[in-house]
Amino acid sequence: MQVAWFQHKITVLIMAQLSKDLQRYFFEESPGDPLTLANVLRLAGERTFGFLFVLLALPSALPVPAAGYALPFGLVLFLLAVQLLIGSKSPWLPGWIINRPIALSRLQAFVKHGIPWIRRIEGLTKPRLTPLCSSGPGRALISCAVALMALFMMVPVPGTNTLPAIGIFVTGLGLLHDDGAISLVGLAMCLIAAIFSVSILYGLFMGGTLLFSLNGQP
């Protein structure tokens, strides 16, 4: 029992590095300003897909203003999800995306608000239900959910950005730590976000149709 407990603690200490890496990179070192995704990819190392899912979903997932980030980051998340779906081991992004400058101060603000949430979830993570994060079918399910949520993030309608981003954020943390249980929670959030977003879009469509028909009446 003590050996198992000790092994679990060692695993948590090894894997719970994302918050520490972000703290060090964005606030203790000098990453350069402006920043690019190429810089961030070097920080990601071998954790690329899960790391990028978490980091790119973070601005829209937080209860802070993130105007202008949902569309470009949603596009990148969609491209990454498609690559994960087809079995890519490392991501490829066009030069105009990966070398696009991002204001360091804006990213620091998002990361500062996001680190406490990342630390809370990291404290719960451990390798479990790993086939969801490591097997082909499991990663296909995760990638399809992330791709769908990324599409909702890109819709310029209030209410369709935050919940999908939260779903990607939690699912990505589970993928990053090989924690299928956390990823399942994230997938459940993705399902709720899909239902909510579709309801908003359907309501807007029906409202627009009704207004159009009323305006068309003599």
Task: Using CA atoms of 78, 84, 86, 89 in order, give the dihedral in degrees to the nearest 10.
Answer: 140
Looking at residue 218, its pLDDT comes to 54
Q: Which residues contact 218 (CB under 8 A, 6 or more apart)?
A: none
Whole-prediction pTM? 0.83
> For residue 105, what are the CA distances in angstroms to 21, 31, 33, 73, 216?
17, 11, 8, 17, 50
Residue 175: strand pairing partners? none
Looking at residue 65, its pLDDT comes to 59
How many angstroms separate the CA atoms of 98 and 39, rounded?
9
Residue 208, domain extent: 2-216
Q: Which residue has the tokens 């919940």?
A: 163
How many angstroms separate the CA atoms of 187 and 15, rounded?
21
Looking at residue 91, its pLDDT comes to 83
Domains held by the chain: number:
1
State phi, psi for 60 to the nearest 5 degrees: -80, -20
DSSP labels, 40-75: HHHHHGGGHHHHHHHHHHHHHHSSS--TTTHHHHHH
Residuewise pLDDT in 10s, the chain (218 residues): 444 434 444 444 444 577 888 888 788 776 666 777 777 777 766 567 888 899 889 888 887 656 677 788 899 999 999 999 998 888 888 888 888 887 777 888 888 888 888 888 888 888 899 999 989 999 999 999 999 999 999 888 877 788 999 999 999 999 988 999 999 999 999 999 999 999 988 888 888 777 777 665 55
What burial class does residue 136 get, using C-beta atoms within 10 Å of its C-beta: 0-12 exposed, 13-18 middle, 19+ buried? exposed
Q: Which two tokens stand for residue 209?
A: 């149709």
